Amino acid sequence: MALEYRRLGFDPHLVDYADAFALQKQLHVDAMADPSRSTVLLLEHADVYTAGKRTEDHEKPRDGTPVVEVDRGERSPGTDEGSSSATLFSTSSTGLS
């Protein structure tokens, strides 16, 4: 299995969250069609709050942070103001992780 790394952008050239998420979904479709393909996306995007299917309205931020509805079922744990984090998303034929 070949593992491809894609560097998309970092501060000060942040990547739009919706664009990166759409790319991740497309890469997953591609990996399902060709299981030998796996991709790791390296990027940084502006702060967003991802709200899962079970997130209730009162749990969403009211401070202007963009809220992105996602198709995963978890409840969102909240946001950490003043901190940053890095998340590694990879796509393969086994799914999004």
With a pLDDT cut of 70, the percent of the chain lying above it is: 72
Average pLDDT over residues 44-71: 89
pLDDT for res 75: 63
What does pTM read for this prediction? 0.69
| Domain ranges for the chain | 2-96
Q: Class for domain 2-96, per CATH? A: alpha beta
User: pLDDT, tens digit, for every residue of 33-48?
Assistant: 988 888 889 999 888 8
Could you tell me if 70 and 50 are in contact, meaning their C-beta atoms sit under 8 angstroms apart?
yes
Q: Residue 31 contacts by C-beta under 8 Å, 6 or more apart in sequence?
A: 37, 38, 39, 91, 92, 93
Amino acid identity for residue 67 in this structure: V
In the chain, the N- to C-terminal Cα span, in Å, equals 17
Rounded to the nearest angstrom, the gap between the alpha carbon of residue 24 and the centroid of all alpha carbons in its chain is: 7
Q: How many CA atoms lie within 13 A of 37 on its CB side?
A: 11
For β-strands 95-96 and 89-92, DSSP reports them as: antiparallel
